[in-house]
Amino acid sequence: MVESWSFLDTAESNFRPLVVIELAKGTKEETIEWFTKRIVDKKANGGAQLLIKPLVTENGVENIYLVGASHLRLLLGAETVGLVKECSDNSMRTFTYSSRKTFKHFADDNHNFLTMAECQYIIKHELENLRAKDEKMIPGYPQAKLYPGKSIVRRLLTSGILVQIFPLHDREELKKLCHSWYGRVKIGYQPLDDIRCYFGETIALYFGFLEYFTFALIPMAVIGIPYYMFAWEDYDKYVMFATFNLLWSTVILEVWKRICAILTYRWGTLLMKRQFEEPRPGFHGVLGINPVTGREEPVYSSIKRQLRIYLVSLPFVCLCLYFSLYVMMIYFDLEQWALDYHKENESNFSSLMLYVPSIIYAVVIEIMNRIYRYAAEFLTSWENHRLESSYQNHLILKVLVFNFLNCFASLFYIAFVLFDMKLLRQSLATLLITSQILNQFAESLLPYWLQKRYNRRMKKRMCSKKTDTDLSLAEQVNMEKEMGTYLGTFDDYLELFLQFGYVSLFSCVYPLAAVFAVLNNITEIYSDALKMCRVYKRPFAEPTANIGVWQLAFETMSVISVVTNCILIGMSPEVDALFPDSKMDLVLTVALVEHLLLAIKFIMAFVIPDKPRDIQMKLAKLEFESLEALKQQVRMQLHFLLIHH
């Protein structure tokens, strides 16, 4: 069992800083001493058994600490968090320290067995699981209450003593990654495995989805181009295009599940057991006994939460939706007024006035989105969800519904109330292209400018100091701690979701949408990559097995688009002309086609397996092995019992 492990690697000489802890200026000495002691203390004494070192800069100690861990400690941490790694026989297995020799690339002196992102994730996990024993409060801060089992780091964060914890960039690795990712203009796939090693699975999966989605849009774009070039206006062709689109969007969402399974199987997260979720930092309640863990922790009645959701949040969201529709109606009135004004007294001023309503509406929408986002965050936080995942789901749902309405309500109104297909096509094109240009500016040009400024600042510093390794580390930490924090993939997915809406909801009136989407996404990959590597602090890796609630959101959108496209085609004069005698027959035919398409969609989603056959096989093999192991155990037991009689 005990191998030739050298515990010398816990010595300072081998210390590799992984995570930075920034404490508030003026934090009391006794608090710092207590906190650092808890971090380095032995597991058996309730510590985290990590290594910690204050960062020394030319101004002296600045309440910034670097955290690392010995190689052995990291390996045992990998077992605790349940990392899944590849074995020598190419199968994926949960890593355990005792079976470490069976894993691919494992060697006692190979410190690259765990990627840096994994090491940082382990340290984050260990820090967050550093729990109060019998302390009633944080030493030096009597108002920061503790109870047995409370996560110390979370209490330090909520009471403002701990400013932030973030993982350090690895300059060497980042340079390599940047080069292979966006450093050269090339046609080809992104280095997803490298991205995953550096940024973790959640971010790699977002880029994987972005890339997949772009490739999936190409067939639609290719079919869409001739419609624009030859100005095909006959509805036979539009019907064909829309039908292809509807089935295609089902297929791509199903195939994505399979590709996602392939990626996450390779990364080990498909097999990784879900960790037991801790209460989220903002969660509060009366101290009670958690019925699941049997530990003392804040408890909040689920009925109270349900009441808050259904009696406050739901009406508020409905009110906001109503208000958004009301604003839209005002916009249409204003537009009508501007048109009338332009007709009556035609002048340069009046033709300029034509654009005013659209600009006002765009600005108002942007303001409403932002205010609503704050309100949604406040409300969801007030609902007091125990788990971060539940908080996220409720927030995403609220924001999604509002954004959907804000983006598409005017288009729905034009299509199904005004029945104006020309205006619909024009508005769709304007909205799509404007939003893409704005996004490109906010995500690509702005970061580029920020990077330039950052480079200048860095160069200035580098010139004034000697380029010592130790000093450059202090510089690096000081620079990184000022960088913005990446708030997760939410906004990136939301952008893709709305884009998918523009492409699919009205695909039969504007086939060119897919072309713009493809063009946008190609630059989006580069600008998002730049953002991740240069603009933001390195985020902690988050293991994940799928894109979660977004899969559902995209699927819902594709169901809605079946309905809208069927109605649009039914409303077209060309289809109308096919049923000269009876409007009834037309509507009934459209309804029948719609139901058929929906039925085909659901059958397709049911028939296409969510995991490719070889992944299914590998999962079955793992299950079979664990069952066999159990049987073997019973067999041994039986043998043993019989021998002793």
- Interaction site with a copy of itself (CB under 8 A): 1-2, 5, 7, 42-44, 49, 72-73, 76, 79-80, 82, 97-98, 273-276, 291-293, 302, 563, 583-584, 587-588, 591, 595, 613, 617, 620-621, 623-624, 627, 630-631, 634-635, 637-642, 644-645
Q: Which is nearer to a copy of itself, 522 or 552 (CB)?
A: 552
* Residue 173 burial class via C-beta count within 10 angstroms: exposed 0-12, middle 13-18, buried 19 and up: middle
Q: What share of the chain is helix, strand, coil (3-state, %, to 5)?
A: 65, 10, 25
Contact between residue 38 and residue 48 where contact means Cβ atoms under 8 Å apart: yes
Rounded-to-integer distance, Cα 318 and Cα 413, Å: 18
Residue number with CB closer to a copy of itself (119 or 168): 119
Q: How far apart are CA 505 and CA 482, in angstroms?
A: 42
Nearer to a copy of itself, 307 or 371 (CB): 307
State in angstroms the smallest separation of the CB of 319 from a copy of itself: 19
Amino acid letter, 570: G
Integer Cα distance of 481 and 349 in angstroms: 51
Smallest gap from Cβ 80 to a copy of itself, in A, equals 5
User: Smaller CB distance to a copy of itself: residue 99 or 347?
Assistant: 99
Are 572 and 420 a contacting pair, CB within 8 Å? Answer: no
Query: Which residues 6+ apart lie within 8 Å of 275 measured at CB?
Result: 81, 82, 125
Report in angstroms how near the CB of residue 7 gets to a copy of itself at its nearest: 5
* Whole-number Å distance between alpha carbons of 149 and 435: 48
Residue 170, φ and ψ in degrees, nearest 5: -110, 105
- In single-letter form, the type of residue at position 93 comes to R
C-beta separation of 168 from 480 below 8 A: yes
Shorter beta-carbon distance to a copy of itself: residue 82 or 191? 82
The size of the chain, in residues, is 645
CA distance 562 to 244: 11
What is the smallest separation between the CB atom of 527 and a copy of itself, expressed in angstroms? 35
Question: Among residues 44 and 187, whose Cβ is nearest to a copy of itself?
Answer: 44
Name the residue nearer to a copy of itself (CB basis): 42 or 466. Answer: 42
Q: Which is nearer to a copy of itself, 450 or 622 (CB)?
A: 622
Q: How far is the CB of 589 from a copy of itself (least distance, A)?
A: 11
Residue nearer to a copy of itself on the CB measure, 337 or 624: 624
Instruction: Identify any residues that bridge with 164 across adjacent strands, giving them in sequence order.
Output: 22
Q: Which residues of 531-559 are buried (b: 16+ CB within 10 A; e: fewer)?
A: bbbbbbbbbbbbbbbbbbebeebbbebbb
Smallest separation (angstroms) from a copy of itself to the CB of 618 = 9
Question: Which single residue is written with the structure tokens 């983006």?
Answer: 407
Task: Please report how close the Cβ of residue 613 comes to a copy of itself at its closest, in angstroms.
Answer: 7
Count of C-beta atoms within a 10 Å radius of residue 118: 22
Cβ of residue 314: shortest distance to a copy of itself, in angstroms? 11
Of 430 and 582, CB closest to a copy of itself: 582
Structure tokens at 377: 């965050």
Rounded Cα distance, 197 and 207, in Å: 13
Secondary structure tally for the chain: helices H, strands E: 22, 10
- CB of 279: closest distance to a copy of itself in angstroms? 13
In the three-class reduction of DSSP (H, G, I as helix; E, B as strand; rest coil), residue 78 is classed as helix
CA 153 to chain centre: 24
In angstroms, give the least distance from the CB of 50 to a copy of itself: 12
Give the shortest CB-202-to-a copy of itself separation in angstroms.
21
Q: Which is nearer to a copy of itself, 10 or 358 (CB)?
A: 10
